[in-house]
């Protein structure tokens, strides 16, 4: 599938091949090779919200932190596709995870005076609501947990008892999670959204940017795979974590699990994970 309009006006040459790339829920993603021997990455899909790609571009721009992650340049964005500079296919450097810990800490040092963001955006294809909020516990409770109870797939799959448990836990968040500054978050920081940059340095893609609890980014990253001790040592050199943070990771990961349930109608395993976490914190 090639579309000459993808590269119009970019001086990259004409597209001659589109190699599918794995990963991503909302889009079909291609590494496009051109007649001038250049490459670019194109994400495209029909029937997506018309502002999804422009909001993705905004999130990528927000993540360009000095000393932080490699973030692909946005070359072109429309309502139906986004064209990104290709980060390439380099192997991860020997210090990749140590550098990633340091980069994430630097990113989390970028703070705001409130939780939220200057606009709503998307997590997957569902709206991520980002109203500016002074109370971080209220923000996480209302906009990252309880907001999913109204989604049809969550409503139909979550048992009534677990819905009530979630509501009780949302009220108890001040007792369960220490106060944290509103930090710049990637917002969907699972391993699939991290990849080596052009020189093997840590890079990131597919953001759901907002200012929130730093531990929320760590929860998504940690739950989906083990991280090296070097990652956490480098992170905590610049951004120390409060005691008990590892025990809070499943609680903060509820947001991701609820979002997954909201996107798909048959997620028995995910619903079971939600039940186990809710029981443990209720």
- Catalytically active residues are 188
Helix, strand, or coil here: 123? Answer: strand
Tokens of 173: 């968040």
Describe the crossing of helices 96-108 and 214-223 by its angle, rounded to 10 degrees: 150
Distance CA 121, CA 208 (A): 7
Over its C-alpha atoms, the chain yields an Rg (Å, rounded) of 19
- Which backbone phi and psi does 76 adopt, to 5 degrees? -165, 145
* Torsion angle of the four alpha carbons 202, 206, 207, 213, in this order, in degrees rounded to the nearest 10: -60
Whether the Cβ atoms of residue 91 and residue 116 lie closer than 8 Å to each other: no
Structure tokens belonging to residue 35: 């007649």
Query: Are 199 and 231 within 8 A, CB to CB?
Result: no
What is the number of other CB atoms lying within 10 angstroms of the CB of residue 265? 10
3-state helix, strand, coil in the chain (%, to 5): 45, 20, 40
Here the tokens at position 271 are 């619903």
Query: Which of 137, 148, 127, 153 is closest to 208 using CA atoms?
Result: 127
Write phi, then psi, for 214 (nearest 5 degrees).
-55, -35
- Distance (Å, whole) CA 51 – CA 78: 8
């Amino acid at each position: 599938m090639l579309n000459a309009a993808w590269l119009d006006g970019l001086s990259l040459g004409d597209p001659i091949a589109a190699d599918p790339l794995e990963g991503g829920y909302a889009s079909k993603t291609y590494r496009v090779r051109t007649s001038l021997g250049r490459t670019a990455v194109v994400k495209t899909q029909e029937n997506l919200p018309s502002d999804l790609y422009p909001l993705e571009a905004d999130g990528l721009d927000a993540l360009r932190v000095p000393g932080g992650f490699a973030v692909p340049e946005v070359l072109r964005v429309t309502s139906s596709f986004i064209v990104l500079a290709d980060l390439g296919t380099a192997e991860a450097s020997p210090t990749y995870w140590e550098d990633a810990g340091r980069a994430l800490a630097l990113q989390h040092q970028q703070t705001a005076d409130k939780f939220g963001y200057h606009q709503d955006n998307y997590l997957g294809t569902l709206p991520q609501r980002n109203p500016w909020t002074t109370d971080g516990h209220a923000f996480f409770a209302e906009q990252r947990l309880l907001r999913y109870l109204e989604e049809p797939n969550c409503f139909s799959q979550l048992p009534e008892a677990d819905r009530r448990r979630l509501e009780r836990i949302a009220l108890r968040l001040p007792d369960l999670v220490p106060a944290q500054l509103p930090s710049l978050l990637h917002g969907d920081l699972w391993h699939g959204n991290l990849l080596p940059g052009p020189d093997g340095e840590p890079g990131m893609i597919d953001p759901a940017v907002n200012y929130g609890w730093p531990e929320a980014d760590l929860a998504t990253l940690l739950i989906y795979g083990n991280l090296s001790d070097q990652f956490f040592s480098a992170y905590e050199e610049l951004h120390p974590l409060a005691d008990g943070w590892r025990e809070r990771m499943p609680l903060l990961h509820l947001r991701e699990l609820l979002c997954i349930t909201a996107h798909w109608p048959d997620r028995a395993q995910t619903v079971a994970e939600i039940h186990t976490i809710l029981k443990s914190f209720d």
